Amino acid sequence: MELDVSGLVCPQPVLVVRRCLAELDPGEELVVTGDYPPAARSIRRTCYKHGYDVATGSPVEDDGTFTVRIRVTESATLTESVADTDA
């Protein structure tokens, strides 16, 4: 699944990603693109914290855009609690 969070600033990108990940099954992948570099860090941190696999590499390009590739694992523990955001 692909998700574009361009134009959104924190905490919105993290919230949108969390909602999408909650709908995916283990083994499925979410590819997130955006244009707000702090969101890339927040998305990665949230995914690491909740047990998702996040592809390594530089998440932010020279023009400020980013792509984060996230794979849902069996051990992922993401809830949709808005109060528990990392942004």
Task: Compute φ and ψ for 30, nearest 5 degrees.
Answer: -120, 125
The active-site residue, picked from 1, 3, 6, 10, is 10
pTM: 0.82
**pLDDT per position as a tens digit, 12-59:** 999 999 999 999 999 999 999 999 999 999 999 999 999 999 997 666
* Residue with token string 């909602």: 19
Name the amino acid, one letter, at 54.
V
Domain chopping of the chain, boundaries: 2-53+63-84
Task: Compute φ and ψ for 36, nearest 5 degrees.
Answer: -120, 95
2-53+63-84 topology per CATH: Translation Initiation Factor IF3 (3.30.110)
Q: Is 10 one of the catalytic residues?
A: yes
